Structure 1
């Protein structure tokens, strides 16, 4: 009788995903409640014109989606990794990530596609080092567990970076630009899971999948290739605005006017704008698709190996 009860109440868990607790779906519940609080804060801010609420808007809008990612990971990551360590991965990893990237990028980064690729190499390296340091005690080291930890570190980086962008957007010439602030937060919230979170999840999965016996890191060719892949995807993502503009100018026959006269042919401005927007959205979608397929491929490829390691550690 007790055996039947256990079979009914035990939640399904992947073989390579050690159980922590029963899943409650707190990530999406927190996302909905947080979104409601964000909307209420917007209404109150507009109604009262209280500038003291602007930091609340920045924090809610910047941290809502990333923190939901942390809750998603907390319900699935190994019980050997305390929730407090996961929170440290988010906050400490996020702060150190943006600080380290800023210090390295300041003297090295430049404009253009090459500059954006360099930024991708720097930021993904910083986040990769943080995953290695923070995850050194996480066992077993499987691709799925590495993806969850990587997503957490990436979410922390995205949260603090988004807060900076939101702050800059709010600095209008005539005072606080509330519309600019909200637009920035909405766009970055929607794109966050497809950017830093996804890229660091791919790198974390590769790092953990290459581990020896699920305990010790090994830096293999696969890890290097995964790092280069996410760095290139990061660079392409950041440079997509320029790429889409170039494609629009070339496809509408505006190459010569734009190059020599710094202007567009009369009557083509609308067409250039439409093509730029379309290519931009398509480009971001393609970058996200490649990253998603890479993550899925890593987890599936190492599923058998990860299952064996998980069973070995459970024994």
Structure 2
């Protein structure tokens, strides 16, 4: 009886998950296909719910090495050779595992051996682990392979610091209260996201990038740098315990928000031309995503009156879900862009062909 109940439970869960996955993929694609240049009625089969299927697979050292030999004149593939298959990043999980193990060993040094010399390492690795792992994921996803590791790291360091400098400049111009009311949260959201947006535009224009995946990667690099340096600064202000919360919260904050904005900047500019001030106000494909990112940041920072930890955690969970959904939309739109530029015919699964014929 127990085995039968378990089997029924597994079958029910499998049925529910299949329905959720199909609807999710369809919703994601329905939005993404309206961002591209292809016919809105032309479906695409991407299945982003399977995106992380390679994480737990075994990979060789040569496969890992090939990920880093990109972005040079001899290793950047032509547009015809760019892969338009669904992206399945995996190496980022190894980066996270190494950083997480390093963090755990530093904790042993601090709490078992009472070595205060481990504190700077804890702050650095704790701030770096999640944002940098996410950055590596977006580096893998960039199917054009036209941005080198050196460019990525330069953008990560210089772009992260520059975005903080621009942020502090804006803060000097606007009245920021120490409270976390909706007004203050909105000002913080506008200031920080606008600062990152300005820096992302500078780097995209200077690198002369034109593809959605490129914009997402550059945005993620600047957002990750911003996140690392900001988290490190919060530790000096609020104590070491801050790193334990901010390190995990980074899965849905600055890196993700900036990646969305980077993709939106590419969507909002004229192809093979720089993003200009006019595009900021006249391109809905850009400013709609920009306003959504500001709303996500505001909602994250807002301390709703007369609520406790449960509501705060719910806010963060909602933020993370929406943020990642927008990331998947960008990835979907990026794959559509590859197919459009290559002039390929979008492949439709047999099941969907039958559904279309019935309609």
Distance 2:127 2:170 in 1: 23
Are the counterparts in 2 of residues 80 and 138 from structure 1 also a CA contact under 8 Å? no
1:293 Cα deviation after fit: 2.6
What residue ranges of structure 1 are gaps of 5+ in the alignment?
A: 1-8, 171-180, 249-275
Are the counterparts in 2 of residues 144 and 205 from structure 1 also a CA contact under 8 Å? yes
1:154 Cα deviation after fit: 0.9
1:114 aligns with 2:183: yes
1:39 aligns with 2:101: no
TM-score, L = length of structure 2: 0.64
1:228 aligns with 2:260: no
Are the counterparts in 2 of residues 58 and 166 from structure 1 also a CA contact under 8 Å? yes
Distance 1:185 1:17 in 2: 43
TM-score, L = length of structure 1: 0.72
Distance 1:216 1:76, change over 3 A: same
Are the counterparts in 1 of residues 209 and 215 from structure 2 also a CA contact under 8 Å? no
> Secondary structure of 2:336's match?
helix
Distance 2:270 2:263 in 1: 14
What residue ranges of structure 2 are gaps of 5+ in the alignment?
A: 1-62, 67-76, 345-359
Distance 2:80 2:169 in 1: 38
Distance 1:121 1:74, change over 3 A: same
1:310 Cα deviation after fit: 5.7
Residue-pair matches, total: 257
1:110-259 equivalence runs, <5 A: 110=177, 111=179, 112-136=181-205, 138=207, 141-170=210-239, 181=240, 183-217=241-275, 219=279, 220-239=283-302, 242-243=303-304, 245-246=305-306, 248=307
1:100 aligns with 2:177: no
Distance 1:310 1:93 in 2: 31
Cα deviation 1:266-307 (Å, max 9, x = unaligned)? xxxxxxxxxx22211112222222223333334435643443
Distance 1:310 1:151 in 2: 26
1:41 Cα deviation after fit: 1.1
1:234 Cα deviation after fit: 0.4
1:91 aligns with 2:149: no
> Secondary structure of 2:234's match?
helix
Distance 2:221 2:81 in 1: 16
Aligned residue number for residue 19 of structure 2? none
Distance 1:72 1:302, change over 3 A: closer
Cα deviation 1:185-239 (Å, max 9, x = unaligned)? 2221211120111111111111112332355436212212221111121011111
For the aligned residues, what is the CA RMSD?
Answer: 3.0
Distance 1:17 1:300 in 2: 19
